[in-house]
A and B are shown apart, each in its own frame.
Chain A
């Protein structure tokens, strides 16, 4: 077979799109070997497009056992040698190596970012045997045919070594922190208790957990203070409106009562009518963080979930590359062509055609930029298959946001009517939209509630029908949610646009945090407290941010990878030495935390019989069988108990039965669908079934 150019894509779907775009006839030939798909395309020469499967190589300890620390020597190896469940990577590397033997030219066509550059580089270096220095680079932000063709015709002559070095450093520094600290925590606990339990932390995970713990402390130590506000129902031209008292908060109840007494049933006079017109500018184009925040606000999708959906849409060439920090849309993306494409969908037809009639299309842009990619935008392609509901929602959001940024400012009017009553003042507020502007494009996602007031003149008399006092309390600081936590990480400069969502997910999967309105579990709390007490540098935001900045400098060729690695090791060494000297103390604290967490996991809820004890999953000392018992049994106060299935796993479901409101249990058994068990023997649902 004649020699060919080997193009490496990041994922199978991307490989298919690239092959299809580059093949002269748009019909590349598909092959499959050992389960690995690849494509033959014909253009100016023969092209073979083969996908990676994300990272095929990873960092591991150079030699030695797994159960000690510190470890500072590492090497890059195929993932199947380092991770369980990655056996298929073996075949992948074999197939790519075979294809590399017949290639005369090499092109990295993975996503143009830290990860994509590193994925391509490590394949070229290891699987293709040192082809990284002769390989070329395709740079694109969408998988549209036109853009892929352009990227191929204007190949970068070298790989992006700045990105590659930064990517390598990130993986290596994260490995150094992760492996050493996680081993230190796990071994400390194991040496104290003799039991093995995986505990982990990392360079970004530690400081992130620290934010959460700080917030948790503020919430748990919070004392609410009372205040009152006063509202009045006023009648204007036959309609009833609600007016607010001039002071938003009254700190003394007696004062609030005095205001009520002075105003109840009285007639007031309109002293002033203030009208204000103001313009509301369109929003900025989506960078990945604002897309994640908006999808959480509107649909409740987690940042990780949104990113997964956006990546699927990107792989289908429906939207541009989502992992971007840019809020800019350069004209080169061709606004008209995108709007023309969108106008073929009846949902967007009128809006897109409306924009196309404008004399000039100029998006409102934010300050943030990204050297590699523009903001997230729709490509103008329409879905070829029926999208799932989450995909459809995110796609619609991206489309509408794209159109909104070209919209005119919306013009709104606010009205404030001051009513004087017996020496006190109430405000009646109205608002209306005069010109919708960009709101027309973003309508379902930016609703404006209008309060229309009738024409009112100064000097008019108004009767206060009813004066109400509202008893209020200052609220504790809000809990973070996955979206606001990612935003906080971004504000503090820790993690990257690509990793923040994953770090939040890791905290969930480790059992350090729970629920959408995040609370820190006792295990998370104790791990963070232990780290903060015995190795504060590990949870220091400043140090983490400093490292992030250094890695960015590597990307811009202003810093060397070796220097950053040496610095990371220099910082870690004393921390780990200190940790070792206090290992017994730390082990004791962590073991207690693990024990508490395990106990906590078994608590089901309050005992319905005694009301004081907690129902828990217990094990009989005699038979070893599990059952539900009350903790008050040990004090001799309560003998409540319930039987449990003896096979499979049983866990508190943290929700209640819809019929009897008793706590539910999640039961999982091999070969059966998981189900929620209500252990109340008198549950009405059971009676119905019987």
Chain B
């Protein structure tokens, strides 16, 4: 299977690097929810536009927004 972001060989949905970014993204949602009381979609939007977000995380967030129709 190919990575949904970069087309490299996928571990699961993503390649090794984007998979790591995806895991971080999932993990940190709880912190954001607690801090700002925001929904998953709002979270993805916020993370995707944040200047400190790593580019692989941004790519995963954008891919998730597209696939979830956000």
Contact = CB atoms under 8 A, between A and B. Distances in A.
B63 to A, nearest CB: 15
A476 B24 CA distance: 13
A217 interface: yes
Contacts of B17: 217, 220-221
Interface in A477-491: none
Shortest beta-carbon contacts, A-B, top 3: A224-B52, A220-B54, A223-B28
Contact of A221 (B35, B37, B50, B56): B56
A221 B57 CA distance: 6
Contact of A220 (B27, B28, B34, B57): B57
Interface of A: 217, 219-227, 251-254, 473-476
A221 B26 CA distance: 12
A226 B32 contact: yes
B36 to A, nearest CB: 6
B55 interface: yes
29 contacts: A217-B17, A217-B20, A220-B17, A220-B21, A220-B54, A220-B56, A221-B17, A221-B24, A221-B54, A222-B24, A222-B52, A222-B54, A222-B57, A223-B28, A223-B47, A223-B53, A223-B57, A224-B47, A225-B31, A225-B32, A226-B35, A227-B35, A251-B35, A252-B34, A253-B35, A254-B37, A473-B52, A475-B52, A476-B52
Nearest to B59: A220
B3 interface: no
Which residue, of A225, A252, A253, has the highest number of chain B Cβ atoms within 10 A?
Answer: A225
Contacts of B37: 254
A252 B32 CA distance: 9
A70 B54 CA distance: 40
Contact of A252 (B28, B35, B54): B35
B25 interface: yes
A223 B27 CA distance: 9
Nearest to B27: A223
A217 B55 CA distance: 10
Given A222-B57, A223-B57, A224-B50, 4 more contacts: A217-B20, A223-B28, A224-B47, A476-B54
Nearest to A251: B35
Interface of B: 17, 20-21, 24-25, 27-28, 31-32, 34-37, 47, 50, 52-57
A476 B28 CA distance: 14
A221 to B, nearest CB: 5
B34 to A, nearest CB: 7
A475 B54 CA distance: 10
Contacts of A217: 17, 20
Which residue, of A226, A227, A251, has the highest number of chain B Cβ atoms within 10 A?
Answer: A226
A255 to B, nearest CB: 9
Contacts of A476: 52, 54
Which residue, of A219, A220, A254, has the highest number of chain B Cβ atoms within 10 A?
Answer: A220
Q: Which DSSP category, helix, strand, loop or mixed, fits chain A's interface? A: loop
A214 to B, nearest CB: 12
Nearest to B18: A221
B70 to A, nearest CB: 17
Nearest to A254: B37
Nearest to A228: B35
A252 B30 CA distance: 12
Which residue, of B17, B27, B54, B55, has the highest number of chain A Cβ atoms within 10 A?
Answer: B54
Contacts of A475: 52
Contacts of B54: 219-223, 476
B21 A253 contact: no
Contacts of A473: 50, 52
Which residue, of A219, A222, A473, has the highest number of chain B Cβ atoms within 10 A?
Answer: A222
A224 B43 CA distance: 11
B35 A223 contact: no
A252 B53 CA distance: 20
A223 B25 contact: yes
A251 B35 CA distance: 6
A221 B23 CA distance: 9
B24 A226 contact: no
Contact of B36 (A221, A223, A226): A226
Contacts of A253: 35-36
Contacts of A227: 35
A252 B36 CA distance: 7
Contacts of A223: 24-25, 27-28, 47, 53-54, 57
A98 B57 CA distance: 67
Nearest to A255: B35
B51 to A, nearest CB: 8
Contact of B55 (A220, A224, A226, A252): A220
Contact of B35 (A219, A220, A222, A225): A225
A670 B53 CA distance: 43
A15 B25 CA distance: 62
B29 to A, nearest CB: 9
A474 B31 CA distance: 12
Contacts of B36: 226, 253
Contacts of A219: 54
B52 A221 contact: no
Contacts of B34: 251-252
Nearest to A219: B54
Nearest to A256: B35
B31 to A, nearest CB: 5
A1 B25 CA distance: 82
A221 B47 contact: no
Given A217-B20, A254-B37, A222 B53 contact: yes
Contacts of B50: 224, 473
A221 B32 contact: no
A475 B50 CA distance: 11
Nearest to B47: A223
A225 B53 CA distance: 9
B8 to A, nearest CB: 9
